[in-house]
């Protein structure tokens, strides 16, 4: 068995004070993909290069305290690729790919953090540009190798993926264009939503994000924004998925 976890840290330094290393040790993944590191290399050096015995490989944002992703792993990768070849978003620290290649198999584990468009029209347009670049990038990758993307996608794909879907039809994260991108990537594209393959009908138990407003967590008014998206052969081998 290979155990893969994904976690939005909301700041690695903050997460460290809240026991993230003990949580990783308890769950004992082979790899854990993290998003929103919100730190630069000097902040990580000597402190967070490893967590619970797993070695981290990072893509830092140029802007301090912003974005940033990493993959922590027990297994030594054959290659580490930082960025996806798009200057605008590579500057924001949104993509790191670890390759674990053998003569018989080419395999990648990817941690990526999709932009949020909720702060205003300019960031929503940036999110659409990100999707326009990410789609072809993943399709090209899927023609060459097996991979799994662990990501805070910032999109709830289906009505079952958020509590108040009727009230969010015009809001970022549930816009028709965003959902159409997810549909395309999981039907005509190379990806399978691993959680939905194993839990096709789950609603209230599937959420991964709750607003800080209106007691959303206490009332479980949530969204499923975090995904494991895998190529078909990998997804077919998945035996368990839980949040």
Could you list the active site residues?
152
Name the nearest CA neighbour of 227 among 204, 201, 197: 197
Question: Would you call 135 helix, strand, or coil by DSSP?
Answer: helix
The whole-angstrom separation of Cα 167 and Cα 69 is 31
The whole-angstrom separation of Cα 61 and Cα 46 is 19
**H or E, element range at 177:** helix 176-187
Q: For residue 172, what are the contacts with CB-CB under 8 A and spacing of at least 6?
A: 116, 117, 118, 124, 127, 154, 178
């Amino acid at each position: 068995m290979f155990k893969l976890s994904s976690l939005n840290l909301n700041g690695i330094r903050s997460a460290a004070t809240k026991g993230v290393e003990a949580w990783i040790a308890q769950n004992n993944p082979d790899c854990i993909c993290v998003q929103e590191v919100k730190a630069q290399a000097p902040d990580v050096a000597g402190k967070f290069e490893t967590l619970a015995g797993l070695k981290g490989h990072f893509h830092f944002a140029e802007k301090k305290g912003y974005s940033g992703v990493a993959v922590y792993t027990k297994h030594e990768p054959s290659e580490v690729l930082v960025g996806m070849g798009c200057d605008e978003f590579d500057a924001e620290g949104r993509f790191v790919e670890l390759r674990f290649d053998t003569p018989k198999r080419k395999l990648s584990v990817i941690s990526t953090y999709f932009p949020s468009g909720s702060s205003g029209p300019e960031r929503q347009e940036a999110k659409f540009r990100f999707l326009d670049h990410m789609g072809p990038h993943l399709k090209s990758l899927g023609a060459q190798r097996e991979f799994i993307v662990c990501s805070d996608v910032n999109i709830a794909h289906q009505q079952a993926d958020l509590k108040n879907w009727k009230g969010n039809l015009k809001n970022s994260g549930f816009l028709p264009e965003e959902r159409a991108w997810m549909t395309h990537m999981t039907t005509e594209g190379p990806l399978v939503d691993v959680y939905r393959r194993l839990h096709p009908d789950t609603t209230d138990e599937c959420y991964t994000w709750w607003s800080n407003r209106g007691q959303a967590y206490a009332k479980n008014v949530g969204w499923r924004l975090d995904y494991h998206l895998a190529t078909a052969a990998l997804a077919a081998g998945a035996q368990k998925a839980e949040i």
